[in-house]
Amino acid sequence: MGAIFRTADGASVDKIYLTGFTPDPTHPKMIKVSLGAENSVHWEKHKQTAGVLKQLKAEGYKIVALEKTSKSVNMYKWQPSFPIALVVGNEVTGVTPNILKYCDEVVHLPMNGLKESLNVSIASGIAIYYIANS
């Protein structure tokens, strides 16, 4: 999460919503990796992801998951519409089917190697900068 905070700072992300067991900026390891970005990016911690997504959708946000599914779209062939909330999942399990049902769109990064995914902080960084520069 510290790396995601640093990326969010660099790309001028408005806010990060942390849910579930995701560590928040008070965690010592996160403070070390974020290098102070936890002080420049607004954030909120919530227990349940679904509640946050419902709130954002009610406020007019387009909810977009970064996840490879049978229906996901190559991110580079997709045009974001704003305001947007990007949902990234757990390092191992990704964005769960229960959370995907709250998403308006699902996009994925094209992979050319043997592996089907990247580390969540790397994938988030690529997606955040793509969206920020669209």
Hey, where are the domains in the chain?
A: 1-45, 48-134
Mean pLDDT per 10-residue segment, the chain (134 residues): 90 95 78 73 94 98 97 98 96 94 98 89 97 96
User: Given this model, what pLDDT does residue 102 score?
Assistant: 98
The domain defined by 48-134 folds into Alpha/beta knot (3.40.1280)
For residue 2, report the phi and psi dihedrals to the nearest 5 degrees: -60, -40
User: Given this model, what pLDDT does residue 116 score?
Assistant: 81
- Distance from C-alpha of 67 to C-alpha of 106, rounded to nearest angstrom: 6
Could you give the residue ranges of the DSSP H alpha helices within 44-110? 49-58, 97-100
Examine residue 83 and say whether the peptide bond preceding it is cis (omega within 30 degrees of 0). yes
Three-state secondary-structure class, residue 5: helix
- Our measurement of the distance from residue 62's CA atom to the centroid of its chain's CA atoms, rounded to an integer in Å, reads 13
**Please, what is the Cα angle at 12 between 10 and 15, to 5 degrees?**
115
Helix and strand numbers (H, E) in the chain are 5, 6
User: Given this model, what pLDDT does residue 24 score?
Assistant: 81
